[in-house]
Structure formats: structure tokens, C-alpha cells
Amino acid sequence: MDGKVWHAAAAGFEAARRLEGVPEGHRARNLHGHGFQVRVRGALPSGWADFPGGEVQRLQAQLGEVVAALDHHLLNEVLEEPSDERLARWIGAELGLPLEVGVQSMPTRGVDLDGAGRAHVWRRYAFQSAHRLPNVPEGHKCGRMHGHGFEALIHAQGVSHDQLDALWAPLQSLLHHACLNELPGLENPTSEMLSSWIWRELQPTLPGLAHVTVFETASCGACFDGRGWRTWKEFTLDSALRLKRAPADSLHARLHGHTYTLRLHLAAPLDELMGWTLDFGDVKRLFDPVFRSLDHQPLHEIDGLADCDTATLARWVLAQARERLPQVDRVDLYETPGCGATLHLGTDTPALPI
């Protein structure tokens, strides 16, 4: 099984800025500050790391050095008009590697640069809603009226955060504290149907819309890009490991552990009756034997697993998952938040969001 490996790293910094490109009277013209988060990912040149399997650690260290130049600084003294997009481009140039870069200035907003260097502004909106899925089999828990703290993540090009907020506001009024089944077009409000419904509502006035991602719960959801759906299911693994190829005196050669975030991405055609691609519950059930072989286990003792770096692990997980769930075409595995590897099949780069 081939596929492309992308390594990922994340770092934060605290900094002040003033923005002059925003309209007259906008509060961001005043001196203000943020706790920024930066995420980068991409294919690294072979032999780039200090040892095979050490890519995440080196990328993390290099990103840490770059953001240290911004930490507790006035960003206007480092670069002109330090918007999220300009910061992302500056960080990418400083790193000098073929990476996608995302800068988050607040937990609910940021900018992601995609593989072609295009800037996607994103905003995350929360709404508290009830729903039931009318076509699920008798006894399925989602057939009962229940509710979620949903979140929608909107990625668009050629738009500002304020413009996105204005376009989103009418949808927030419809979705928040509402029963989704009562909204025309949302009679079967699965994550898939909700993401494409939001797309149809926004796209006519937002031609740069790139992705609508709906988080049904913190661990599952669907993404629609105007052509098709992708879904994901996330798992938390608590596992021990040592990196077999790390130098003997390295911290990574020592027995240690991580609380991993593992995200399975699935691409499948829509089941028109169910309104979903594959039941998240089925994904969880079918993946469970693989989950059990990893969770609360010493990973370096698993037969057939060459090493325990996130890229090697992600390759092993993808192979195991596809034996049970051939729809899985991408695995993201993070050993700490934002730091890890993505393995994806096919020629396209992984879909946003970073």
C-alpha cells in the first residue's frame, strides 16, 4: 500500500499587533494581542531528520525556533501588516520547506494556506440543536430525538472574517436552539446532509467557499466541498513506546508514552436513504479490534510494526483499518496536539482543514 506521508507540527506564541488593512473604526486597528497557534504539515525531504522516525521532533524544533522570533513581540516590528495570512506566509518562508501553514489567532478563527499557497480564511461557529435521524434502523440511538453542541467550520477564499460572520448570521438564527428536522431541506439532518445544506445556503453569496465541515460531536463529522463528502471518526489512544531507530542516548529511545489523537478519514458515496456515507457507529465497531491492539499497549512490542514513529504507525493503522473498512483513505495520528503524521492515499493533497 503506497500513499503519501505528511509530517505535522504545531507551536504557539503570544504577541501584540495592530492591523491597518481593516476598515476605519475597526477594533483591530487598535493595539491588541492574541495567543496564536501555528500548524504546519507537508512532505519532508528524505534523510532530513536527525534519525529515521525523528521527523516530527525536528519539525517541531524548527517551528519552535521560527515562532520564538514572534513570541512576546510587537508583530508590526517584524513584518508589515501582520494579518493571519501574512504571518502564515512569513512563517512558511522562514521554514523554507514545502509545507502548508495554518495560523489561528483565536480558537474560532484563522487562515490556512493550502498546497498551492492559496489562503483560506476560516471561522468556527457553534450552535446547540436537537435532531433525530428518521431513517435509521429500529432501536438505533440516533432515531430518538437528541441533541448536540454542533460546530460548523467554514473555509473560504477572498473573504474577511467579518464578511464570513455577516454571511453566517442568518444561518446561526435558524440553527441555534432549533430542531434541525423542522428546517426545509434538513428533514434527515445527518452531518453529511447538514454540511451540504450549509454549503447550499452560503455558496450563492460566497463564491470562494471551499469547505463546510460539520462537527456533530468532538469526535466525528462530515466535510462537503461542493462535489462530495468526506467523514472522519476520531479516537484517543493511551500507549507506551520507544523509537527503535533513535540514537541510544536520545529521549525517544527511552520507554515513554503519549495520549495520541487518531483520526480515520473516510470517502464513500452517499447512501441516499440514510443520508450518510457510513454510520460513525459502524466505523467505531469495525475499527474496535485495531483500537484495542493499540490502546493501553506497548506499541514497540506489536508484531509487524517496524517502528513507533507516527508515520510508521499511521501506515500500519491504515493497512489494518482498510482490511475492515476499505473506505478509510487517510489516517492522521498526533502524538501531542498538532504534532504527528498524516498518511493519505490518492494523488490529491489532504483536504483542508489543516
Q: How far is the CA of 107 from the CAs of 12, 30, 125, 128, 186, in angstroms? A: 12, 20, 11, 18, 28
Binding of residue 280 to ligand LPXRUNBV (CB under 6 A): yes
Q: Is 146 a catalytic residue?
A: no
Site for ligand LPXRUNBV in 222-241 (CB under 6 A): 231
Min dist. Cβ of residue 26 to ligand LPXRUNBV (A): 38
Contact, 145 vs 129, CB < 8 A?
no
> Which stretch of DSSP H or E encloses residue 169?
helix 161-175
Binding of residue 263 to ligand LPXRUNBV (CB under 6 A): no
Q: SS3 string of 76-98?
A: HHCCCCCCHHHHHHHHHHHHCCC
Q: Per CB under 6 A, which region of 62-70, 166-174, 276-284, 286-294 contacts ligand LPXRUNBV?
A: 276-284
Q: How far is the CA of 68 from the CAs of 55, 79, 99, 219, in angstroms? A: 20, 14, 19, 32
Binding of residue 278 to ligand LPXRUNBV (CB under 6 A): yes
Site for ligand LPXRUNBV in 156-195 (CB under 6 A): 190-192
Min dist. Cβ of residue 235 to ligand LPXRUNBV (A): 8
Q: Is 335 helix (H, G, I), strand (E, B) or coil?
A: strand
Tell me which of 55, 279, 307, 309 binds ligand LPXRUNBV, using CB under 6 A.
279
Q: Is 177 a catalytic residue?
A: yes
Contact, 11 vs 344, CB < 8 A?
no
Judged by beta carbon, residue 142 or residue 164, the one nearer ligand LPXRUNBV is: 142
C-alpha cell at 104: 489561528
Q: Of these residues, 142, 220, 223, 339, which one is catalytic?
A: 142
Q: Is 113 helix (H, G, I), strand (E, B) or coil?
A: strand
Judged by beta carbon, residue 144 or residue 200, the one nearer ligand LPXRUNBV is: 144
Judged by beta carbon, residue 74 or residue 274, the one nearer ligand LPXRUNBV is: 274
Judged by beta carbon, residue 56 or residue 198, the one nearer ligand LPXRUNBV is: 198
Cα separation of 332 and 322, whole Å? 14
Min dist. Cβ of residue 50 to ligand LPXRUNBV (A): 37
Cα separation of 212 and 144, whole Å? 26
Q: Per CB under 6 A, which region of 21-29, 113-121, 257-265, 271-279 contacts ligand LPXRUNBV?
A: 271-279
Task: Please give the single-letter amino acid code of residue 192.
Answer: E
Judged by beta carbon, residue 114 or residue 201, the one nearer ligand LPXRUNBV is: 201
Q: How far is the CA of 88 from the CAs of 1, 5, 24, 97, 149, in angstroms? A: 33, 22, 24, 13, 30
Site for ligand LPXRUNBV in 190-219 (CB under 6 A): 190-192, 216-217, 219
Q: Is 142 a catalytic residue?
A: yes
Min dist. Cβ of residue 4 to ligand LPXRUNBV (A): 25
DSSP state of 200: H
Judged by beta carbon, residue 6 or residue 215, the one nearer ligand LPXRUNBV is: 215
Concatenated DSSP letters of 208-255: TEEEEEEEEETTEEEEE-SS-EEEEEEEEEEEEE--TTS-TTSGGGS-
Binding of residue 129 to ligand LPXRUNBV (CB under 6 A): no
Can you say how many angstroms the Cα of residue 36 is from the centroid of all Cα atoms in its chain? 16
Binding of residue 284 to ligand LPXRUNBV (CB under 6 A): yes
Active-site amino acid positions: 142, 177, 216
Binding residues for ligand LPXRUNBV (CB under 6 A): 133, 142, 190-192, 216-217, 219-220, 231, 276-281, 284
